[in-house]
Structure 1
Amino acid sequence: MIQEHKWRFLNDFITRGGRPLKLFMDIVVSMDVQIRESYSESIDGFSKNELAKMMVLDGVFLIELFRKVGRLSPVHQDDPIFKMIWVSPLLMMDILKIENQIPFFVLQKLYDESRTDERTLPSLIFEFYNYLVDRQPKILKKCENLEGKHLLDLFRKSFINTNNNGDSIRRCENAPLKLIQPATALAIKGVKFRANHQAESFLDIEFENGILYIPQINMDDFYSSFFLNCVAFEQCYFHCSKDITTYVVFMGCLMNTSTDASVLSGSKIIENYFTDSETAEFFFHIGKDVAFDIKNNYLQGLFKEVNDYCKNGWHVGWAGFIHKFYFENWPVLSALAAFMLLSLAALQTFYTVYPYYRKDK
């Protein structure tokens, strides 16, 4: 279905701009070598013109889509892409799939040659995605001139760059490092969980005074697809940071079971559109076989701080005592609480009835 709309959007693009299609074809043909070098697999099966046709058709479709959402191009009131509410979310996910990426420099060149205003292409892209991922205007402003290898990389960087430009590794030289324990085990040792509503990115995780501050995230189809594709890209592309992979591994450590996921849901860290068991299973599977360097990631300092906190200290012993005392004695405590409630109810009844009894006497 989308193929039909690509040709329609291309016609809108050419008609409105008044510049011939051949101009854009020639521009893309001139970048043929650079385009082919951008792909890990050979695309020699396409001739120069075939490759250029594909790039122009896909590139113009994306540009027109972003422009229409940004109200820079007119939208027909019955356009099915915007009228049917299920189309746009699926399209947003599809555009960010790693197998659907085209080089960003192609998009940028096509946009520059057809530009009629001062808006940057990244600003239009982030406005488009802000319908699903609502972010503060100041964050969007910072991303206006961001660059990436492709749309997926650009969108991925918009989260990383809010965290000190992606260079937030806390060095722990010569320190033995290991992954952290699940949320239920950490809770037994006194670690508390709080949703960080002030964070600019879901990557901005902090640990302070026994409290893990984790930004709230909506676990839905969009984010699950986004994480899958980001991890795939970071695993395949050596020269990029591995921040999304680190986040996924971190969340996978916290959620071994549905009970662990319930701890985070109860703390309002995860707003679930899935069940707790589905969320735990997702993070377990996505982080299961990824290449992850525990000594070289942006959370390595946090891993060490949490593990050091859980090793010893009075807070760990006290938290363990409270947990053990409660769970070993909860039948007794429950019975005692029930007895006290019954006793209070009996006393209330007695003092309600007694004055009338005295009066009758």
Structure 2
Amino acid sequence: MVAVYNKELLSWYLITLKLREKLQNAETSDQPEQQQQARLQLPCEPLQVMVNGECRRPEEIQILQSPANPQESEWIISIKEKLERASNDDVAGSWTKISIYRIPHFLRDQGLGEEKEKAYVPQVVSIGPYHRGSHRLQSMERHKCRALHYMLKRKRQSIKLYLEAMQDLEDRARACYEGPLSLTSNEFVEMLVLDGCFILEFFRGYTEGFESLGYERNDPIFAMRGMMYSIRRDMMMIENQIPLFVLDKLILLQLGDQNQKSVVADLAIIFFDPLSPIDEPLTARQMTKLKSSLHSNTMAFHPLSDQAGLHCLDVFRRSLLRKGPEAVPRHWFRKWSRRNLVADHRRTQLIHCVTDLKESGIKFKKRKTDRFWDIKFKNGVFHIPRLLVHDGTKSLFLNLVAFEQSHLDCTNDITAYVVFMDNLIDSAQDVNYLHYCGILEHWLGNDAEVADMFNHLCREVVFDINDSYLAKVSEEVNRYYDHRWNAWRASLKHKYFYNPWAVISFLAAVFLLLLTGAQTFYSVFAYYEPPIEHKEGSFLPIF
């Protein structure tokens, strides 16, 4: 122990310690809280350990050091990122702009297997971004460049003009496709120019003649050859489209006429007319009007009326349904209502097959009209327009049905017709009878292939029975079918009145039956009422 004998020196020492303590407190007040805690750490209680400036028990340290919290934080961060991406995808109005869809998996995976896959996937040429880059379609890319070269040379224009025009439409065109696209801006613009000019060269070449556009007569692609059919079929697929406004802009740059708004639609109708299921093609008068619209300001037949077309498939669908039933566009709550919708194929039975309807007395007659969907039923007679089934009919109907299933702002008229024909046709016998009546004509191998095609067209298709233009016809047919007297009358006619000799035999049998009945009656009457015997000399009363 040190003794201090100078009291003044001791007092000055204490004053110095006080001042030093105040200065330290002033310095620590300006520093961060964590540094203050680090400097002013107090010793922990027994069985506690200092962790990050705080006293913790061993069990608390294990909880803090367990891997649950870091994983939970990463999990929450990933969910927030997903929600942020979903918010970006769900931009106001983004879904309403989509018009070119991918085939839903439930339609692609069901049905005819590899044959149905070929009906959805292009086999020769890719149009649009969905199948761009496919290895087996690369051979057609050089012909696209060749078509663009011929067009620029013929018009004496620069490629820069078309690229700049497509750059202005890039965002609008991207919004028409479903899902994100992997193409860069330059690749997407290049695709619009190449594919759009390729389509227009085919349209104009088919209408005006490829030789007039500068192509050789024996050109392997741009000529009236077998390749034309395969290209036409590929250009009708829902996944193989580009927006119609892109084609309108490109043809505007080629023709330079602001007034011709329906040129592309008219050219598309002419080009795709051979795929039509209508037995009678466009008449020469209709063809002349459509061709003249290319060089005139007057609008010929225009399937779009006052509505903007979406793409070539939509234009052709509207042309098939011209003057058709104007059904109200479907709404999402009607589309997914389980009360009205039918997804089970066993419950889509609107009417019975042809064989059953025949037995109930219903007749079938061909209706003379160019609208294959316009079916009528009156007084027990089906009036059905003639339908032509060829190699491209299956692909056409499948893509039209897929488009109606995907695009909510269009009617389901094609789907309703296909489902109706699916109900009518169950077997080769049904196809044979419709062919006998002149209603169905096909170029396939046999009647069984036609029946199998219709029986697979609408598998897994969601169809609203009440939202069909054929709902009233189906109701009238079922009411007639359920009436027993009609079935009895039909059975009588089928068994006893199928030819004149059968009629004579039936009448003779009826006559003999009447005679037998009369003989039996008089025999019974004579038994119960014997004749009256008269005595000799008696007179019978005279009346």
Task: Place the TM-score, normalised by the shorter chain, in its bin.
Answer: 0.7 to 0.9
The aligned counterpart of 1:16 is: 154
Matched residue of 1:70: which SS?
A: helix
Identity %: 34
Number of residue pairs aligned between Structure 1 and Structure 2:
323
- Please name the residue that 1:254 is paired with: 424
Deviation readout 1:61-106 (Å, 9 max, x if unpaired) = 0011111111175242112235463211111111101111111111
Q: Which amino acid letter does the alignment assign opposite residue 233 of structure 1?
A: F
Residues 192, 222 of structure 1: CA spacing in aligned structure 2 closer, same or farther, 3 A cutoff? same
Give me the whole-angstrom Cα distance separating, in 2, the residues matched to 1:157 and 1:35.
21
Question: What is the SS of the residue equivalent to 1:193?
Answer: strand
For 1:143, the aligned partner's letter is H
1:270 aligns with 2:440: yes
CA deviations on 1:213-246 (whole Å, 9 max, x unpaired) are 1111211112211101101111111111111111
Are 1:290 and 2:461 matched, yes or no? yes
Question: What does the per-residue CA deviation read over 1:258-279, in whole Å, with 9 as the maximum and x for residues that have no partner?
Answer: 1111111111211111221111
> Following the alignment from structure 2 to structure 1, what is the Cα–Cα distance between the partners of residues 153 and 183?
28
User: CA 1:251 to 1:66, structure 2 compared with 1: closer, same or farther past 3 Å?
Assistant: same
Cross-structure match for 1:244: 414
SS in 2 for 1:135: coil
Shift of 1:166: 5.8
Separation (CA, whole Å) in 1 of partners of 2:487 and 2:256:
62
Encode CA deviations 1:113-162: one digit per residue, 9 max, x unaligned.
Answer: 21257671111111222345412445964336554211111101111123
Evaluate the alpha carbon distance shift between residue 216 and residue 78 of structure 1 in structure 2; reply closer, same or farther with a 3 A threshold. Answer: same
Task: Identify the match of residue 95 of structure 1 among 212, 235, 248.
Answer: 235
**CA distance in 1 between partners of 2:492 and 2:443 (Å):** 35
Q: Indicate if the aligned counterparts of 1:120 and 1:144 stay in contact, CA closer than 8 A.
A: no
TM alignment of 1:158-177, pairs within 5 A: 158-165=319-326
276-285 or 65-74: which moved more?
Answer: 65-74
Cα distance in structure 1, aligned partners of 2:377 and 2:441: 21
Amino acid of the structure 1 residue aligned with 2:168: S
Unaligned ranges ≥5, structure 1: 337-361
TM-score (norm 2): 0.55
> Does residue 279 of structure 2 align to residue 109 of structure 1?
no
Question: For 1:106, what is the secondary structure of its paired residue?
Answer: helix
Unpaired runs of 5+ in structure 2? 1-138, 291-299, 331-339, 341-347, 506-543
- Correspondence for 1:128 among 252, 271, 278: 271
Q: State the match for 1:148 in structure 2.
A: 309
Partners of 1:69 and 1:230 in 2: CA distance: 23
Q: Please, what TM-score do these two structures have when normalized by structure 1?
A: 0.82
Match of residue 76 from structure 2: none
Other-structure match for 1:52: 189
Matched position secondary structure for 1:271: strand
| Letter aligned with residue 265 of structure 2 | P
Change (3 A) 1:165 1:71: farther
Per the TM alignment, residue 11 of structure 1 is displaced from its structure 2 partner at its CA by 0.6
3-state SS of paired residue (1:207): strand
More helix by share: 1
Deviation at 1:164?
Answer: 4.4
Task: Give distance in 1, aligned partners of 2:424 and 2:235.
Answer: 30
Query: Partner of 2:470 in structure 1?
Result: 299
RMSD between superposed Cα atoms in Å: 2.8
SS at match of 2:392: helix
1:146-193, Cα deviation, whole Å (9 max, x unpaired): 542111111011111231456799xxxx9xx96000011111111111
Bigger radius of gyration, 1 or 2?
Answer: 2
Distance of aligned partners of 1:84 and 1:113 in 2 relative to their CA distance in 1, 3 Å threshold: closer
The structure whose RCO (Cα within 8 Å, separation 6+) is larger is: 1
- Matched ranges for 1:327-346 at <5 A: none
